[in-house]
Amino acid sequence: MNHDPLLYEHPLALRRRRKFSLTGSLPLAFVVLLLLVVLVPHWFTHYLPDDMDMDAILQPPSLHHLFGTDALGRDLYSRVVYGSALSLSIGLGATVLATAGGIVLGLLTSLGPRWLRQPLVHLLDILLAFPELLLALLIVAVLGRGPSNTLLAVGLSGIASYARLLRAQVLQVKLSGYVQQAVVLGERRTTIVLRHILPNALRPLLVVATLGVGQALLNASSLSFLGLGVVPPVAEWGALLADGRDFLDTAPWISLLPASVVALSVIALTLTGRRIQSRLTQGS
């Protein structure tokens, strides 16, 4: 009887592997569902987000209104569905902005002239001393409310962390053997940066960016919840949470159900990002 360990797998190990595969697939499936909701929201609800029904004010969840209704008789489930496009767009756009800004600032602090590097490094240290949400609050207080300003505030507040990571990667790659060999061979500085340093330094940054979408979504929702984000009556997840603050005793579903969607979305995006990070790390 053949007991080759390469051909035989213990049942306990098999169950663990299947469990791991299941826990890794569920977040990805939820992310795919979110994308479908963004692209074709009318597949998931026949109500419009701004339709008001004065005869259905503050109704609890039911078969007709899955998430209940708010103080204006609007179907809360449809507002969550249609608000997913704006919320996820802000989270994704803010991550792209933070990553792009981090690349520029990280290159300047690691490869720029000395007279420019030192002030920028001190600026990074100052920015990193503040939590990202606090920086976003300060920025949006200056820019004002609205989806675009919320995206800018969340994106700009995240630049410092990406810049620090890229700076550390560039300084590490500069000391590698292939870069030193390129310098000895007399390659141009621009060629060395674009061909050798930047591609190898960018990969860890892009991997971390896959984890940043969930955090950006959470920060954007927090701004709207605090009244500094999207202006009502626009359907956005953080704004929906804010709408229910005055009804937590009488109609808690107005805040709790959208909050559950936000929490599940952040968890699913983070776990999916970690799965992508693991795959890219194994492939490197």
Per-residue pLDDT, 2:
46
The span from the CA of 91 to the CA of 67, in Å, is 23
Q: 3-state DSSP call for residue 69? A: strand
Check pLDDT > 80 for residue 142: yes
The span from the CA of 62 to the CA of 263, in Å, is 22
Q: Work out the average pLDDT over 234-246.
A: 86
In the numeric block, the tokens 């569902």 are attached to 33
CA atoms within 13 A on the CB side of 167: 21
Task: Please state whether the peptide bond connecting residue 147 to the residue before it is cis, i.e. omega within 30 degrees of 0.
Answer: no
Check pLDDT > 70 for residue 17: no
What b/e readout covers 58-67, taking b as 16+ CB neighbours within 10 angstroms? Answer: ebeeeeebbb
The span from the CA of 125 to the CA of 119, in Å, is 10
CB 67 within 8 A of CB 77: yes
Q: What percent of the chain stands above pLDDT 90?
A: 25
Q: What is the pLDDT of residues 151-202, one digit of tens each?
A: 999 999 999 999 999 988 888 887 777 777 776 766 777 777 777 778 888 8
Q: What is the pLDDT of residues 86-102, one digit of tens each?
A: 999 999 999 999 999 99
Tokens of 28: 């990805």
Per-residue pLDDT, 23:
61
Q: Work out the average pLDDT over 63-86.
A: 90
Check pLDDT > 70 for residue 284: no
Is pLDDT larger for residue 21 or for residue 150?
Answer: 150
Q: Where are the alpha helices (DSSP H) in the chain?
A: 11-39, 76-111, 114-128, 132-143, 147-157, 159-174, 177-184, 189-192, 198-225, 237-243, 253-283
Check pLDDT > 60 for residue 11: no
**Which range has the worst mean pLDDT, 7-11, 35-39, 46-50, 95-99?**
7-11
Q: Mean pLDDT across the chain, nearest whole number?
A: 83
The span from the CA of 207 to the CA of 282, in Å, is 12
pTM: 0.83
Per-residue pLDDT, 280:
65
In the numeric block, the tokens 């159900």 are attached to 257
Q: What is the pLDDT of residues 110-133, one digit of tens each?
A: 888 888 888 999 999 888 888 888
Picking from 156, 173, 157, the residue whose alpha carbon sits closest to that of residue 110 is: 173
Per-residue pLDDT, 4:
47
